[in-house]
Every structure is written in structure tokens, then in C-alpha cells.
Structure 1
């Protein structure tokens, strides 16, 4: 098979790595990197660490309003797909890159393969929710990470070529965990002790674009006595600067530059708790058996809530503080598959 894979953001690089590894054993894969994440710490380092082949096409779209960004991607991806004429096109997750790739292929009658299909937060104010719904409805093959995702699709009358193959991010974590423990020196670099800090990641537009939300989140952080480590997303940093917010005024907060995947795995595995609004980090916390506090009103990873591994707190100062101080004892079962999702995907496509 000749397959085009469209990726553009950090979580997609992580998901694509194990699938590409299996695909390329027998098939031809061309990678289009849209450039949605273009900062070298958010992009290049992941290709190096995860041993992903360099993209065949780099579109350099960069950031911008959703319409402009998605429109540019559509035009540029279409040119490449027309020229390469692949057998199918693979997209991951729920970004603008996902939607652009899916729309191009669907309109050119090229089968769309959606990996991480069927997720729903049931909040259409989130751009990711719009992207994932539209992508699922134009996809030919839908590879889901959980039974909940299968049920979500069934409720939208999508039942053809739908498979629960487990989570490709679990494949990636299992593959890279040992490598991270051998290669990462991030704890020493920042004088961090094992289980001696909370890890923070905040980047969702619903939080960063809302001054009141950010003020509440930061007020909660200022009341958490423990050391807090925050590898800050470039967009979040820019937003906070535009609000005139000074993070250095928050006690025991270490703000660091974005880190590579191996360093991030080490920070996650060694944290006391993880405070995040990221979908991927919620799952990585689960894989690493680290309690998670999610600064959102909904999550697409409802299984982590049912297992008491994750607590949804919105942006309430009191709820954040209560969740951070709460003792939890999650079960951490294999609800995201057995770590062989990538092989299952390729086997099913070959069939």
C-alpha cells in the first residue's frame, strides 16, 4: 500500500511513531507535517527522539485563526495528494491538521483512516470536538482506543469498519519508557526530587483565552505549597504576557521551556500529581500510574474518571486545591489495550 500520513502537533507525532514503525515494514508511507506546531521544542525534537522518519512534505502553516489555518492546510495537502495518489490517508486525533487531511481525502474519494476515533467531550465550544466529529463522519476506517469510543460512534450511526484496537499512545509509552529512564536528565537539570513536585501543563484555548479562567488557575497554583513544574506551551506563554501576568510571583513554581518526549515521560513518571488540561497528558498520567487533576469541565477520557485516576475540577480554585490534596488509590487496569494497537491497525488494513 501507498499511504499518506498527515500530522501537525506534538500528540500526533507520538501517536504516529509506533504505527509508522509497523507500516514501513511492508508498505510505503509518506508523511505530511502541516507545521501546526512549528517551535523546534514542540516539533523537531520529537522526530529525533521518537525516531520518526523526516517528513516528506513540510507545509509550514504555523498558527492563526481556525479558518485561515485549516484553509491553508486544505489547499496544500490537496496538491500533494493529487500528485501522490495514495491508496489511503491516515489522520490522528482531533486537530485542524486532522480535519484538513480528512476533508481532502474524502473529497478525492481516497479512504480516510482515523486513528483515535470516537472520542467525545460533548462540548462543541471546543474546536477539537468539531474536528473529531467531522473527521469520524467522513472516515472509512475508524480505529478506536476504548469501548466508550465505539459506543459514541454507534450513537451517531457509525458502525461500518469500526474497531477497538486499544490506544497507540500506550504503544508509544511502553516503547519509550525504558529509553526515557536511560537518556533523560531532566530531574537533575532542574534539581527535582522523585515524587517531590506537581507537574503542570495548561494550553487549551478554553483556558488560555479566558482571563478569568487563567486567574483562577494561577490563584490555585499560588496556594499549592509544593514545588510545581510547568513546561510552558509557547501559546500559553504569549497569552499570559498579553494579560500582563507574571508567573515569577507564584511561590515554588518552576517555569521551564517545552521539553522533548523522553523528558516529558520522565517528568510525568516522577511527579506526585499531574495538573493538566491536555487530553494526551491525562492518558500518559494513567499509563504512568500518576494521579491526574484535569482543569476542564469535560473529558473525552471518561474511563480515567471511572477508575479514580483522574478528577475533573473545571477552573474552580477550591476544587483544584481539594483534588490536589486528595488521597486516591486508582486501580490502573489495562483499559487502553495491550500495547499492540499499531500491529492490529496494520493487520486490519492489510485484510
Structure 2
């Protein structure tokens, strides 16, 4: 009796050297660009070189565009750094959107309610403490229930996003309509109470510097600290961690409190540092995009800089394509999707080796 076998043989690889992994990812990006060029010619008739040049122009075409790109990079990277400790622990924190938003809400509350009661320096410190505490609370709740009753952290953190959104929507109305009219918009536009200081004449620079420091801290924390070691062990196996004397429940709660607090910090940087306002869409989906950034970088804070930059440049370039060539947003989304497909698909070839079988059939 003959038993049919597949044409390809797939086997798990040993860990590849870093340069081979980068080579595979680089080839994936080049193939993605080739496919994008073909799709561009077939669907629009435009020269693909012009399309790619426009993407670059949208991100770095002027000094202002470059600053906005780097600010967007800093915010996305900061949120990605926040969720990474939890992901490395195999705690699937899908609640970064809400954790950042609740940090924005706490910051806005301090700026609106305490603007005329505290000196500006003290107000900023109070806003910082409130944002960190709010984000930490939003991280603590799902972690506590996970540690005590093994609840599903994915659903729990996802639902917390909706609670944060509705809380923000409620207070936006409270601060906007009759009795609080005008308090939401540009908060404290006349006095700039609670606004973070401008560094080097550029309001985005402080955010970039803070996230740069945060990147270094998170890299050291995850790779060279006792807490980082415990996170890695718990992520590999909670049972092994328990045998090794690690208090798993404590690590889960501590890590998620840190994750939430960093998200709260990003909320402060958005509301008090760059946007100076509060809306339910201020985070702009970056809490979910951060999941992709962290995963694509294999939880490495340094590599996250490049994955964040790639996604930000694609997003900024997409808007430029739409306005320059009169194409709708869907076309730029197609190009982004193709590039991400190849990048994510390359991870398969890094993890597995694919080879042709010598014979398609084998006697049984």
C-alpha cells in the first residue's frame, strides 16, 4: 500500500545566528517591495519608484514631518516597551490602549481641576503620579484576577479598554458642557498650566528623550536584572518557576503593574506633552499596534526601535500617497498589508526549515 506524503518537509531549526535572521528579514522586505511595485503598476499605472519616494517624503519630506515622525515613533515605541514585560512573561496584555487612555484621563483631570491651585512644577509632578497610578491600577486588576483565579487575561485586559474609553467619554462631557464649558479642547491654552516644558525649542523633543531613556532602562531591566530573569523563567514555564522558588503570582502582579504604569506615563506624555487635550481616540490604536511591534522584535527593546520606525513610516507615507496621487486610503493600506505579510511570514522561515522531499511517495 502506498502512502502519499507532502512534497515539502518542515522541521524546526536550531537557533539561527543573528546575522542569518536579519538576512532572512531583509530578503522578506525586498520581496515585499517588489510585490508592492507590481501591484502598484497593475492597479494604478503609477511608477512604483515614485510611490516609494512619496512614502519617504511623507515621513521625512520636511523638518516638521521628520519631527512628527519621530514623535509618533517615540509614542509607539514607548507603548510597545510597556507591554513587552507582560508578553515576555506570556501574559497577553491587550489592554495597553485603555491603560494609556486612563493615564491621559488622570493627567487631564489634574490639569483641569488643579490648574489654579498648584504651581506648575508641582502640578506636573502630581499629574505624573496620577498617570502612573491610574495606569498601574489598570494593569493590576487583570493581573490580580489572573494570579488568584486564573481568569483569561486577554479578555480581561481587552474589556478594560472599553471601560477606560467610556470613563474618558463621560468626563469629556462633564468638562465640556454648560458648567465646565471650554475646559476640553486645548486644555489650559491661555496659562499652559500642567504642560510639560519645551526642550530645545521643540515640543516633541522631551517625549523622544524620555522614551530613549525608557528604552535603555527596559533593555537593562529585562536582560540584566533579577526581575527580568524571573519574568523570563515564568514565561518559559510557571511550574518550573515555582520549583525554582519564584513566587509566580507576585511576578505576574508586579510585572503588570509596571506595564500599566509605563502606559500611564505615555498617557502623560500625550496629554501634557504633545496633544494638550483629551479625546477617546487620542491613543489612536497604538495600544494594539504595539502588540505587533513587540512580537516582531521578539521582545527585544533595541529591535523595537526599527520595527516601530517601519510601521510609523508606512503609516505616514500612506497619507502622503493618498494626497499626492489622489488614491484612497485603501491602496496605501494594501501596500502596508503586503509589507507586513512578508515580514511576519519571514518569522516562519527563521523558526522552521523547509526542504523538498526526495520522493513524493513512500511505501508503507
TM-score range, shorter chain: under 0.3
Give the structure with higher Rg (CA).
2
- TM-score under structure 1 length normalisation: 0.24
- TM-score under structure 2 length normalisation: 0.23
More helix, by proportion: 2
More strand, by proportion: 1
